[in-house]
Structure 1
Amino acid sequence: MSGVFVSVGSMMPFDRLVRAMDEWAAANPRVPVEIQIGRGKYEPRHAKFVRLMPVGEYRQRVAEARLFVAHAGMGSIIAAIEAGKPMLMLPRLQAQGEHNTDHQLATAATIGARPGLHVAGDAEDLKRRATVLLGDSGAAPAPISRYAESEFTDRIRAFIEAP
């Protein structure tokens, strides 16, 4: 897939994100959009969707996408950075019943300053930024490995095993 992959994560519905990106897909029919909608009630009419997918398939979708759009969850953020893909986040809001706290606002404020990670303020901003980011070839974060370097783990092992 060389288009947009959208994920709400696996824990809670996020219909506001799904609806916004389905509307974006309707306005951009030449860009393939796939949305992982979880347990949400809203089912996209203009984008391909799945409810849940195995972790390996999820990582593959992130790696293949030109743009990854998701909630501001750490699992999604780490997946984007590992794959070196630009990520556009829409934080879940407690006031809208999307989460039980507003911790994603704090995550987005902190993490969103990192190169390649972008935060939308609302659904309209999300759609506008998606269009801009797809045209920006320098929007991706530098990829990282999922594993620590052996020099680091060797030092930890030596410390643990020291008498």
Structure 2
Amino acid sequence: MIFITLGSQKFQFNRILEEIDRLIESHKINETVVAQIGACTYVPKYFSYQNYYDREEFEREINKSDIIVTHGGTGAIVGSLKKGKLVIVVPRLKKYGEHVDDHQIEITKQFDGLNLICPCYNLKELAEKIKYIRECNFAKYSSNTNTIMKSIEEFIS
């Protein structure tokens, strides 16, 4: 199963939903797709969705999924990696009114540089990314929360 999560901010990300619909309609995606579409105005035709899931429902959808397709938000990326999921990141772009700037490109590059995710900067490549992601060898995600906490404690002292 593929789970799409587009965050909970006020920005639309209609073009990714339109592309997923196109890929399902053309049989380039043949597995179940479920999405949390947030503030998008596009209404998916070929997959189930909700604007927002509560925390329990969201966790359930993530757990059932093999592949997570997400925007370039760190929370969505890290949450999916912590669960050991295959993650395709499509950064939101300012030129489409998807965010105020293009910082999600930089976030995506950082996670890609660590070999943790599959980046998708061009939606025309999404079908190929979905098709081949299971063949990729990604690094195992390891949280650095303890290191950060220790640095903060040392700074305060």
TM range (shorter): 0.7 to 0.9
Picking from 8, 16, 23, the partner of 2:6 is: 8
Q: 1:61, CA displacement in angstroms?
A: 1.6
SS at match of 2:8: coil
2:19 equivalent in structure 1: 20
Please say if residues 89 and 120 of structure 2, whose CA atoms lie closer than 8 Å, have aligned partners that are also in contact: yes
Please say if residues 28 and 127 of structure 2, whose CA atoms lie closer than 8 Å, have aligned partners that are also in contact: no
C-alpha distance in 2 between matches for 1:23 and 1:113: 30
Provide TM-score, normalisation by structure 2: 0.83
C-alpha distance in 2 between matches for 1:141 and 1:83: 13
Please say if residues 3 and 67 of structure 2, whose CA atoms lie closer than 8 Å, have aligned partners that are also in contact: yes
Instruction: Evaluate the alpha carbon distance shift between residue 159 and residue 122 of structure 1 in structure 2; reply closer, same or farther with a 3 A threshold.
Output: closer
Instruction: Evaluate the alpha carbon distance shift between residue 29 and residue 105 of structure 1 in structure 2; reply closer, same or farther with a 3 A threshold.
Output: closer
| 2:44 partner amino acid | P
1:82 equivalent in structure 2: 82
How many residue pairs end up in the alignment? Answer: 155
Please say if residues 32 and 47 of structure 1, whose CA atoms lie closer than 8 Å, have aligned partners that are also in contact: yes
C-alpha distance in 2 between matches for 1:159 and 1:90: 36
Deviation sequence 1:9-46 (CA, Å, 0-9, x none): 11122101111122223324640000111121111111
Q: 1:139, CA displacement in angstroms?
A: 4.8
Q: 1:54, CA displacement in angstroms?
A: 1.0
Q: 1:35-54 counterparts in 2 under 5 A?
A: 35-54=35-54
SS at match of 2:113: coil
Q: 1:7, CA displacement in angstroms?
A: 0.9
1:55 equivalent in structure 2: 55
C-alpha distance in 2 between matches for 1:147 and 1:55: 21
**Unaligned residue ranges in structure 1 (runs of 5+):** none
2:67 equivalent in structure 1: 67
Q: Percent identity?
A: 20
Instruction: Tell me which stretches of 4 or more aligned residues in structure 1 moved more than 6 Å.
Output: none
Superposed CA RMSD: 2.7
Q: 1:144-159 counterparts in 2 under 5 A?
A: 144=142, 148=146
